[in-house]
Amino acid sequence: MPFLSTNPATGEVIAEYPTLTSGELEERLATAQAGYERWRRTPIAERAQLMTRAAELLEGEIPVTAEMMTREMGKTFAAAKGEASKCALAMRYFAENAARLLAPESIPTSGRRSGVRFDPLGPILAVMPWNFPLWQVVRFGVPAIMAGNVVLLKHAPNVPASAQYLEDLFRQAGFPEGVLTNLFVEVDTVGTILADPRVVGVTLTGSERAGRSVASLAGANLKKCVLELGGSDPFVVGAHADLDLAVAQAVTARIQNNGQACIAAKRFIVVRPRADEFLERFSAAMASVRTGDPMDPEVELGPLVSRAQRDQLSAQVASSVAAGAVVHTGAHELDRPGFFYAATVLSEVPGDSRAGCEELFGPVATVTVADDLEAALAVANDSPWGLGGSIWSSDDREIDRAIEALECGMVFANGIVASMPELPFGGTKNSGFGRELSVYGLREFTNVKSFHVS
């Protein structure tokens, strides 16, 4: 079956890409291995020059690249331009800083010289999702490549144009063949690829179910594994929150990427003294979100990525309302072509309902009232996930308490959870393990090699 690029705003098939044959897959694995043998010996200064060139090329065609992403997965054109710009920013950051962050470290011992160095491992398989079709790949791939590894990209089947764009971009920038290799293969081929001795590790961004499967395959083959899985991030509104800021950012946090982001705030937990006002203002703001053609610069919320995604979200909400959840706005599909769902706010959500215990991957928010900050933090931590979380308060004591107490990989105060090159990205609990970005992500797929000279 070919891979289809479909416009979720209209349901129109834009393009199709053929699946690799077994022979073509073998050729690409061999190319990646040969590319690694060359790339690992390429001086890091030369790697940096090529990465800077890739950033320049991307920056020169951001509108075209953004339109491709919008047409293929439905994110707003403004959001797609932001994603492309962010990719170029990360490329420049690691081009400028990788040499320093990967430099061997001296550690005093009984020896004349001793310490650690950070050597590349080899070809890394990247199993990537559709929601940020360029950024998810860049977030892992750029640090891995700057460390001397090469990337085998098995992208989501509904964003084939984005996958091919990345391979073409790296080729045009002058990278040796095999440094980033796109694989149009079905998901059941992942096990075969991981079993290949030339492939030394795997990273996956996706669902918890997919993570368990890939982790099992990686373990069976003794391959290094990094997982960035689902999340149901808490957005904690404290007693000293600036509600003007909190309400405005709550809307952005929930509808970013049409609500389809692992680090989007999904559970809004408000201390009782601020709860009524927050719920009223938040619901009104969500009700006024402009929904429509994602290419329209006035539109804030586009379609969900597919009919299946919209149907799943609709079923989750309907089941939760039937179980007792209260609807403040939305909770329905939109009667128009494409896969649209209204911005939605629910409260009094039963903990055992689907909205209470499942990740909602779409523009649906749940609001919970807690007696005080400690109770709010307890609600926030009562989750199988631990990706990100935020605290909204003007009191540093509340902020510091939340940073300490929240059981997640990233905590942001008075700002929505975001990824940036300087800070490590990743989660705890069922949200996965390992880190991307920063010095930690740069060294994730390296051999931390000790040396000791007597």
Q: What is the SS3 string spanning 190-207?
A: HHHHHHCCCCCEEEEECC
Cα angle for residues 162, 135, 445 (degrees, 5° grid): 110
Q: What interhelical angle do 243-255 and 272-287 show, nearest 10?
A: 50
Instruction: Please give the helix or strand (H or E) that residue 267 lies within, else none.
Output: strand 265-271
Distance CA 396, CA 43 (A): 46
Q: What share of the chain is helix, strand, coil (3-state, %, to 5)?
A: 45, 20, 35
Radius of gyration (Cα) for the chain, nearest Å? 22
Bridge partners (DSSP) of residue 452 are 114
Q: Say whether 225 is catalytic.
A: no
Q: Which residue has the tokens 């899985």?
A: 229
Tokens read off for 161 = 């144009």
Cα angle for residues 54, 57, 62 (degrees, 5° grid): 120
Q: How many Cα atoms are found within 13 Å in the side-chain-facing hemisphere of 81? A: 11
Q: How many Cα atoms are found within 13 Å in the side-chain-facing hemisphere of 284? A: 8
Tokens read off for 49 = 């020059």
Q: Which of 72, 83, 167, 228 is catalytic?
A: 228
Helices (H), 60-186: 62-73, 77-101, 135-146, 160-172
Q: Which of 262, 300, 359, 444 is catalytic?
A: 262
Contact (CB, 8 A) for 305 and 130: yes
Contact (CB, 8 A) for 5 and 160: yes
Q: Say whether 408 is catalytic.
A: no
Neighbours of 129 (CB within 10 A): 22
Bridge partners (DSSP) of residue 3 are 17
Instruction: Please give the helix or strand (H or E) that residue 308 lies within, else none.
Output: helix 307-322
Catalytic residue positions, numbered: 228, 262
